[in-house]
Structure 1
Amino acid sequence: MTDIKSPKKLIEVALPLDDINAAAAREKSIRHGHPSTLHLWWARRPLAAARAVLFAQLVNDPGYQRELGYGVNKQEAERKREKLFDIIRELVKWENTNNEEVLNRAREAIWESWRETCHLNRNHPQAAELFNPEKLPAAHDPFAGGGTIPLEAQRLGLQSNASDLNPVAVMINKSMVEIPARFSGISPVGPESAIKKQRVLSEKWEGLSGLAEDVRRYGEWMQKKAHDALKNHYPKVVVTSEISESYPHLRGSEGQELTVIAWVWARTIPSPNPAAMGKEIPITSTFVIAGSGEKTAFVEPVVEGGNYRFDVKFGKPGSEAKKGTKLGRGANFFCLLTGTPIPEKYLKKEASEGRLGQKLMAVILESSKGKVVASPSLEMEEVALSASPSFRPDVELSKHPQYMGPPRYGMTNASDLFTDRQTLALGTFLSLLDDVEKKVLDDAASSGALSNDKEPLRSGGAGAFAYAQAIRTYLSFGVDRSSNYWSALNAWGGGFVVQVFSRQVLPMVWDFVEVNPFSSSTGNWLGAVEWVSKVVERSLVPGNSGFALQADASSKVSYLENSVISTDPPYYDNVPYADISDYFYAWLRPALKKVYPEVLGTINVPKSNELVADSQRHGGKQGAEKYFLSGMIEAMSNISEASHSSFPVTIYYAFRQGESTDEGTGNTGWETFLNAVIDSGFSIVGTWPIRTERPTGMKVNWNALASSIVLVCRKRESYVGSISRREFQRYLREQMPESLETMIGGESGQAPIAPVDLAQAAIGPGMAIYSKYEAVLNQDGSRMSVHDALVLINRTITDFLNPDSGNFDADTQFCSSWFDQYAWSEGPFGEADTLARAKGTSVDGVREAGVVESGGGKVRLLKWGEFESDWDPTYDKRTPVWEACHQMIRRLQNHGESAAGELLAKMPEKGEAIRQLSYHLYTLCERKRWAEEARAYNELIGSWHAIVAASHETGHTGEQVGLDI
């Protein structure tokens, strides 16, 4: 068969990584309208990263024309590549998410590359099937999760296909890529909002603004209905003289009614001390409610006659108030009435036998001038406990010891996680979904805006009936969002409710907050609806078709042939999302089972086929690793078979638990994952470190590895045989330096990869050699493991960066070796003298260069802060690279990037060596865990692009008159 001509894609050659990482990190601070706020899903990748990776995966690298002999010179290829970089730089900005001008530039570049590829393969026997210049290949993400990758593929103009085993993830993807395409340009059909909140209503209702407006309108309709049904359970509180005395702005308002924002509860159990006669005593981790210092509101327990009550006090609380009834770490408390310790064992026993209760500690009220904390009354507690829900979410919870806290304390069913009043509220909104679907159908039919066909949403319907089901789906997400804030597992954050899943675990919370769905403050129903509607309006893509289905990535039948595949599979010891997502499934299933019976057919989220190395499920660590490896190989093999041969596959790996040793950076999960990818028939042709977490300051995260590594993979050519270990090492020595030069910014002109990410990025070209062959054979004929290959790759990086490699002057070689042994500490002169002679210099010479202090039989390297402050390299007669590097650090730290650029302009010929030395010293410090020292080198590289720019602005003003040693 004729070979497919497959030009290299941009992602196989170069990326403007700094711009992508900056946009991805910034995106973490975006809230309103971001898809992550539609429905909680864990470990989402930023839209910016997914969009950039997909674009670079789809467009041809301009250098391919040179490879095919088209006569395009290197400079022209670099110019064209820079134009693609400019598209990416604009594409990744959050404000350009729906900027059609920017998106169309990207789409045009994708189409241009696709037509070039089709033209190259016009004589291929399967040209009509594989290379239709009028139709782009579809995209597919078989581990779709939170839907970021399918959504961004759709935004770039591809038909998007998303699949996942987890039904909650499937529903998220349906709402993001499947439903929106059918209802673009629809005018709202619902009753005009009575709570406009100064919204500017559109006249054109372009895109998905009409759909979003109907989500709001029918959400408000549900609010009115639910409030009518529940208002007696959420009474207002009358302002008393005690309340007005504590809050001066309420004086004169006695008798007025205030809405309750939240009720703060303590859990209770019977006292273990017989003297307390079985009284229910509070189990709470703090009595502090809000504020800090002198403005703190806290609960003071008042013990009288063998009973107790809670009074709210103001002012600076004592240490006892901050600790509540807690004793030390873990679930250890004391009896408020008798002082008797309550060990965790007793607490678990009482809770497991159903004797976990609750006691109201405080109420938080809503006033026109802020929040008001007040003491509770017996009537408030009685009203709260009087609710009697007819529906309870009957889903048995996993008892996973690592991720599921409540089942350890008898809360084994989803219904146990909510108070009766919370269950009643959620159940009421849930029951209104039938009514809202009927109302939308009637309104849509009478408006004439949609056809009256009865084709359901799950079958591709786009008429009034399907529209009613679509509105129901988005409002179901409002219920699910609310369940994350209306639970007995919510903590109070001083002024807001903390969502249940602030971490990727289902936590146990002792003092919890119950919010009012009908307040205008934290956690209210209309707020949940607004979050959902803003995502529909601002982030989803109208027009392009998309499909989401429930499927196991290990099953071949779930794949679309010849598709562009980009995916974020579960990593080795991932959180078992199937366990924790039962929390949401308990409400989502009754809400949408009628609409999507196939997806929501199981009682619980399927767990047995979830691809994660969980020792709890698979009989220990060894069984878990075997299960994960075999399952991932199956999935990757399916991906390899289904992917279009003209495009590489991109695979995200969430790198974590890094181990920095003398052998480099690695971990068991990473090696297991690489094994699975290679064993499935892929050759890894690139790795890109993508930062998907918002930095909190360089000084805190000096050594934070990139959150994700994007692997770029191609199908391995079947005729490639094996090579020996010696040949592999030779290829590493011959081919790695050029790639490393590009990564540290030697010739590409792009910003260098940060030292902290270099080891990860360099895995790409190293593994490209290893995975290109069927096997790399050791001397005994055995197959070299991925672990051993990574060790050799890391050694090649070290050798390349090491000053002893011959690219550095003798003084610098001495300083580097001395630093490796003593850092900034003193060492014996005799040892220094021997080392200096071996490197071809002398201690006196190095001292003359101004980089060491020598005397009293001791030698010490000077820290960068000790170097001459008015140093000018144009008048220095002996300037080792070591001195130039640390003078650059001194100038950057004390005066900034512009000043450092001015200094570099005086010694431009040393720029590359300075940078290479910084990488080497960072790597050395990182492996020795010298955090403070490493940070300075990382900061120099991180600022290098700006320093070089400043250097060119200044102009290269002089050349050194001293020795070029």
Structure 2
Amino acid sequence: MTASAPRKKLIEVSIPLEAINAASAREKSIRHGHPSTLHLWWARRPLAACRAVLFSQLVDDPSSWPERFPTEEAQDIERRRLHRVIERMVPWEASNNEEILNDARWEIARSVAWGLGEEPPAKGDGKAILAYLQAKAPPVYDPFSGGGSIPLEAQRLGLRAHGSDINPVAVLIGKALVEIAPKFAGRPPVNPKARKELERGRWNGKGAHGLADDVRYYGQWMRDEAQRRIGHLYPNAVRPDGSEVSVNAWLWARTVRSPDPAAKGAMVPLVSSFMLSTKANSKSWVEVVLDESAPDGWRFEVKSGEMSGAEEERAKLGTKTGRGEFGCILSGSALNDDYIRMQTAAGNGSWRPMAIVAEASKGKQYLPIESAPVPKVSSDLLSFTPDQLMFSGALGFRLQAYGVRTWGEFFRERQIASLTTFAGLIEEAQNLVRSDASQMGEDADDYARSVAAFLICALGRSVDYWTINTMWEPGGEFIIHTFSEMTIPIVWDSAEGNPFALGGGGWNKTCLDWVVRVIDALPLNVAQGAIRNLRAQDIDPPSNVVFSSDPPYFDNIGYADLSDAFYVWERKPLSAVFPELSRRLATPKDDELVATSARHGGPKPARDFFLEGMTTVFERMHRSTSTDPISIYYSYKEKGQVGQGSGWESFLEAIVVPGWQIDASWPLKTERPTRNRSIGKAALASSIVLVCRKRPSDAPIVTRAEFIRALKREMPGAIDAIRKAGVGPVDVQQCIIGPGMGVFSRYAKVLEDDDGGMSVKTALTIINRVWGEIDQELDTAFDAETQVALAWYAAYGFDARASGELITLANAKNISADALFDSEVFENLRGKTALTPREKLPKNWTPMKDRTLTIWECVQHTARVLNAEDGGAEAAAQLVAEMGPAGDQARKLAYRLFAIATHKGWSQEELTYNQLAQEWAHLEDAGTRVASSTTKPAQAAFDL
């Protein structure tokens, strides 16, 4: 291969997907020091995935160098070696391991050097490798840099990192992570306390530790000064014995006017749960006591101690009677959602303090609101109240319908006073830093702005914890932050944290400490990076850059509308740090590439806006890169089949039209199954990484029939690989897009019968149809009992029907109804029949002892055991181990059952099969370990 010829990259051939997925999923549980905890941003990609993708995108596949790796065996050996480099590199613990990172950097340098006809620097010379990469390796550019994960990981790998984003909040985060920390690496702190340590020769920090020390010191100064100014707004609570205790949070309940005329206009509470603590042996809750002497004829009373199961269940319901519906505590009248909206929109809604959470020697103590009444906030402390309107059609917003129309109304008066005070103190702290830095001979202005930038990030964390939408979690006894989801829903009962509390919700522990930990953990020995405030449509990067990006997901997330919650407070201190980011009163929205129907005049204009803008971005990428592939992360769950909506269709059209060919696609499992959005529903857990190259100018033109033949030839293997990678059924639909569109995009044109070119929408429809045909063909490989059960399930689920219907289905599969009863797949209900419910299946069943083993039983028993209190993953793994080769068909059946349940709208069944299929690969691995040496896999009565 000549040096100038396009070289295949590792990411186009093979990557250690399982190791990357495991590190990505685990990373979501890493909190302290993780860059994602610097400042909230939505749908960040895990650092492990970004690092692995960038590495694989820049390192040549061994097949690119046949003169160095002349045989397939030699190439496979080299690929496995590169996989081991990635496997060592992706865990969080390797993030700042210079030995591991230098090995990875050297591999990139080697590919760059070979491409230039040179030899790379010596493998152990870290400084030389970094210098070579910064001089010779292509820079990385992310035009949708968001929370900064991709530029940060490019920088960690020793590459020049560039990013841009239209949103000033995102740019602040990116600049803090990528620009500031490397600039001041190795410099000592400037604060007076640290100077004394320096004089004694005791400071031995490295990396950005000096910067972290200063952020901690001046952030603490802000906290102390704020307490002096507004500490009276957060009084201690007085215990029954007269002693005082610090308050962690005040708990509030929404109230609305009772609809019953007999209540005489009294306000009544809307509470989703009265539980304060559900911990064993320390339960606490609130009760409503009717009291004619109390305002509106009722009051809250805090209780602690023993409670029966029935009492706890009632307390957990609060005053709710259904979704968005409550009962009036005075009359029992129904308060439905329409009534609540009407009342709150008319100003007939308010908040009532419900209880106090105080610090205790062990855990928390719950006190009545009278122990620390909420003080009135004086008008001088409310001099700044954000009056920017919430956009009425913002994606995922529900508050406007309940009377919350401005950002000022999203915060309580005390929270406004606190945020105003802390925001103002940042500029004062910046002046202190400037003064102290000038005494140390530093670049005082630049350093003061840098410290202030991180203090603004701490302010952003405080915004996330100081709104009317923070809630109390009675199980863990902590405050749930505002943006635990990518929406702003209606919240009925709320927790107002104390900024000066020692625990969660306070400035020190929840805001400042987290920011300092991130600075301490930022990468060392990296090149300078740059993040710009720029529309993605306007990017004009230098030639031959490597693109990697995570664009907006059509209409899934309204980044700009959500980030206004932060920007309205960060804007003022930003004016003294990055003036260019504070020019607007709110974040820019009209040019943001998100398909918000209400903003663009309807679904079609919104789709056209997204398509036009995204196409422009990919056209600019096409002009700026030469031969290297680009990588694009995408994750979008269509409401129907992929291709029947606009999200994937528009995105893929924007890629294909400018001349990109999808060369590879990888499903990255980036989410923990326990995240808030996935509880109680089958939410997407994977992102798709599309690897694209410029389509050759001599790409062939084919007919529709040839396209379909190519799909049928290539997709079965791709589908099987996706499922074996452990991708859950809820993600399979979007994962299959990659290989299907890979076939479509390799052609210059796919001709329809009228000689016109096939559209992306039509291609997606055909891909879905071929996928369905492949799955239906798989059905015929199942045993007869399973085929009958599958047909019955698709028609009736687990419902009972007349026995004659089973006989008809059984005859079609040449099996008797008695055989179906004997196999325990169906139960005989004397004139009626039904599939045997999982809860009625025999508890001691094993594949080895079943003489009429069916794939249906394998799936149902594994699902039963996996979720049973006396079973779990280990017991399920044992069953899978005993299935032997039947296990592969059982996994395929789980995917088919998920598809049926989704189509039927059976949410609980959908969850069951999604979990089962997603866990199957892990169960196989665990089964290999737990199976005894005497375990012999079951041999079914059918040929596998």
- TM-score normalised by the shorter chain: which range applies? 0.7 to 0.9
What is the CA-CA distance between 1:938 and the residue it aligns to? 5.9
Residue 537 of structure 1 aligns to a residue whose secondary structure is helix
Q: State the partner residue of 1:91.
A: 89
* Separation (CA, whole Å) in 1 of partners of 2:691 and 2:606: 26
Retained in 2: the 8 A contact 1:828–1:859? Answer: yes
Retained in 2: the 8 A contact 1:168–1:585? Answer: yes
What is the CA-CA distance between 1:667 and the residue it aligns to? 4.9
Retained in 1: the 8 A contact 2:251–2:355? Answer: yes
* Separation (CA, whole Å) in 2 of partners of 1:307 and 1:853: 59
Instruction: Check 1:273–1:601 CA distance in 2 against 1; reply closer, same or farther (3 A cut).
Output: same
What is the CA-CA distance between 1:956 and the residue it aligns to? 13
1:594 corresponds to which of 568, 576, 579:
576
Q: State the partner residue of 1:928.
A: 900
* Separation (CA, whole Å) in 2 of partners of 1:62 and 1:360: 66
Q: State the partner residue of 2:533.
A: 550
1:655 corresponds to which of 629, 636, 657:
636
* Separation (CA, whole Å) in 2 of partners of 1:92 and 1:720: 36
* Separation (CA, whole Å) in 2 of partners of 1:33 and 1:322: 35
Q: State the partner residue of 2:906.
A: none
Q: State the partner residue of 2:655.
A: 677
* Separation (CA, whole Å) in 2 of partners of 1:511 and 1:149: 38
The letter for the 2-side match of 1:218 is Y
Instruction: Check 1:191–1:349 CA distance in 2 against 1; reply closer, same or farther (3 A cut).
Output: farther
- 1:713 lines up with 2:692 in the alignment: yes
Instruction: Check 1:379–1:83 CA distance in 2 against 1; reply closer, same or farther (3 A cut).
Output: closer
Retained in 2: the 8 A contact 1:433–1:476? Answer: yes
What is the CA-CA distance between 1:833 and the residue it aligns to? 6.7
- Is the deviation greater in 932-941 or in 47-56? 932-941
Q: State the partner residue of 1:232.
A: 232
- 1:693 lines up with 2:663 in the alignment: no
The two structures, once aligned, show a CA RMSD in angstroms of: 4.7
Instruction: Check 1:731–1:215 CA distance in 2 against 1; reply closer, same or farther (3 A cut).
Output: same
Larger Rg: 1
* Separation (CA, whole Å) in 2 of partners of 1:867 and 1:302: 53
Q: Deviations over 1:614-646 (max 9, x none)?
A: 111122112222221122111221222223422
Q: State the partner residue of 2:556.
A: 574
1:19-98 aligned within 5 A: 19-66=19-66, 72-98=70-96
1:525-540 aligned within 5 A: 525-527=507-509, 528-540=511-523
- 1:467 lines up with 2:437 in the alignment: no
Instruction: Check 1:305–1:609 CA distance in 2 against 1; reply closer, same or farther (3 A cut).
Output: closer
1:442 corresponds to which of 420, 435, 441:
435
- 1:616 lines up with 2:588 in the alignment: no
* Separation (CA, whole Å) in 1 of partners of 2:332 and 2:935: 76
* Separation (CA, whole Å) in 2 of partners of 1:805 and 1:324: 48
Q: Deviations over 1:46-88 (max 9, x none)?
A: 111111111111111123334xx65621222111111111122
What is the CA-CA distance between 1:262 and the residue it aligns to? 2.2
What is the CA-CA distance between 1:709 and the residue it aligns to? 1.0
Unaligned runs of 5+ in 2: 121-131, 867-872, 902-908
The letter for the 1-side match of 2:444 is A
The letter for the 1-side match of 2:759 is S
The letter for the 2-side match of 1:518 is F
Residue 688 of structure 2 aligns to a residue whose secondary structure is strand
* Separation (CA, whole Å) in 2 of partners of 1:594 and 1:962: 76
What is the CA-CA distance between 1:92 and the residue it aligns to? 1.7
Retained in 1: the 8 A contact 2:726–2:920? Answer: no
Residue 436 of structure 2 aligns to a residue whose secondary structure is helix
- 1:503 lines up with 2:497 in the alignment: no
1:360 corresponds to which of 353, 373, 380:
353
Instruction: Check 1:225–1:631 CA distance in 2 against 1; reply closer, same or farther (3 A cut).
Output: same
Instruction: Check 1:297–1:350 CA distance in 2 against 1; reply closer, same or farther (3 A cut).
Output: closer
Residue 570 of structure 2 aligns to a residue whose secondary structure is helix
The letter for the 2-side match of 1:155 is R
* Separation (CA, whole Å) in 2 of partners of 1:112 and 1:703: 43
Instruction: Check 1:943–1:857 CA distance in 2 against 1; reply closer, same or farther (3 A cut).
Output: same
Retained in 1: the 8 A contact 2:848–2:882? Answer: no
The letter for the 1-side match of 2:302 is K
Retained in 2: the 8 A contact 1:436–1:472? Answer: yes
What is the CA-CA distance between 1:470 and the residue it aligns to? 0.6
Instruction: Check 1:644–1:298 CA distance in 2 against 1; reply closer, same or farther (3 A cut).
Output: farther
* Separation (CA, whole Å) in 2 of partners of 1:7 and 1:48: 25
Retained in 1: the 8 A contact 2:399–2:489? Answer: yes
Residue 562 of structure 1 aligns to a residue whose secondary structure is coil
Residue 435 of structure 2 aligns to a residue whose secondary structure is helix
What is the CA-CA distance between 1:858 and the residue it aligns to? 13
What is the CA-CA distance between 1:144 and the residue it aligns to? 0.9
1:238-253 aligned within 5 A: 238-239=238-239, 243-244=240-241
Q: State the partner residue of 1:126.
A: none
- 1:192 lines up with 2:164 in the alignment: no
Retained in 1: the 8 A contact 2:727–2:918? Answer: no
Instruction: Check 1:73–1:898 CA distance in 2 against 1; reply closer, same or farther (3 A cut).
Output: farther
Residue 661 of structure 2 aligns to a residue whose secondary structure is strand
Q: State the partner residue of 1:14.
A: 14
The letter for the 2-side match of 1:264 is L
Q: Deviations over 1:201-249 (max 9, x none)?
A: 983211111111111111111112112222333333343xxx23xxxxx
Residue 649 of structure 2 aligns to a residue whose secondary structure is helix
1:429 corresponds to which of 408, 422, 426:
422
* Separation (CA, whole Å) in 2 of partners of 1:270 and 1:804: 59
Q: State the partner residue of 1:584.
A: 566
* Separation (CA, whole Å) in 1 of partners of 2:502 and 2:918: 47
* Separation (CA, whole Å) in 1 of partners of 2:70 and 2:938: 36
Retained in 1: the 8 A contact 2:325–2:336? Answer: yes
Q: State the partner residue of 2:126.
A: none
1:763-782 aligned within 5 A: 763-782=737-756
Q: State the partner residue of 2:458.
A: 478
Instruction: Check 1:13–1:857 CA distance in 2 against 1; reply closer, same or farther (3 A cut).
Output: farther
What is the CA-CA distance between 1:184 and the residue it aligns to? 0.3
* Separation (CA, whole Å) in 2 of partners of 1:202 and 1:309: 61
Q: State the partner residue of 1:210.
A: 210
* Separation (CA, whole Å) in 2 of partners of 1:5 and 1:755: 40
Retained in 1: the 8 A contact 2:328–2:334? Answer: yes
What is the CA-CA distance between 1:179 and the residue it aligns to? 0.9
Residue 693 of structure 2 aligns to a residue whose secondary structure is strand
Retained in 1: the 8 A contact 2:785–2:854? Answer: no
Residue 617 of structure 1 aligns to a residue whose secondary structure is helix
* Separation (CA, whole Å) in 2 of partners of 1:309 and 1:871: 61
1:303 corresponds to which of 292, 317, 322:
292
The letter for the 2-side match of 1:768 is G
TM-score for both structures, normalised by structure 1: 0.80
Q: State the partner residue of 1:907.
A: none
Q: State the partner residue of 2:170.
A: 169
Retained in 2: the 8 A contact 1:636–1:677? Answer: yes
Instruction: Check 1:412–1:900 CA distance in 2 against 1; reply closer, same or farther (3 A cut).
Output: closer
TM-score for both structures, normalised by structure 2: 0.82
* Separation (CA, whole Å) in 1 of partners of 2:223 and 2:234: 13
1:376 corresponds to which of 353, 369, 375:
369
What is the CA-CA distance between 1:672 and the residue it aligns to? 2.4
Retained in 2: the 8 A contact 1:182–1:543? Answer: no
Residue 556 of structure 2 aligns to a residue whose secondary structure is coil
Retained in 1: the 8 A contact 2:855–2:893? Answer: no
* Separation (CA, whole Å) in 2 of partners of 1:571 and 1:48: 21
What is the CA-CA distance between 1:466 and the residue it aligns to? 0.6
Retained in 2: the 8 A contact 1:611–1:632? Answer: yes
Q: State the partner residue of 1:290.
A: 276
1:785 corresponds to which of 759, 762, 774:
759
Instruction: Check 1:190–1:302 CA distance in 2 against 1; reply closer, same or farther (3 A cut).
Output: farther
Retained in 2: the 8 A contact 1:702–1:938? Answer: no
The letter for the 2-side match of 1:534 is R
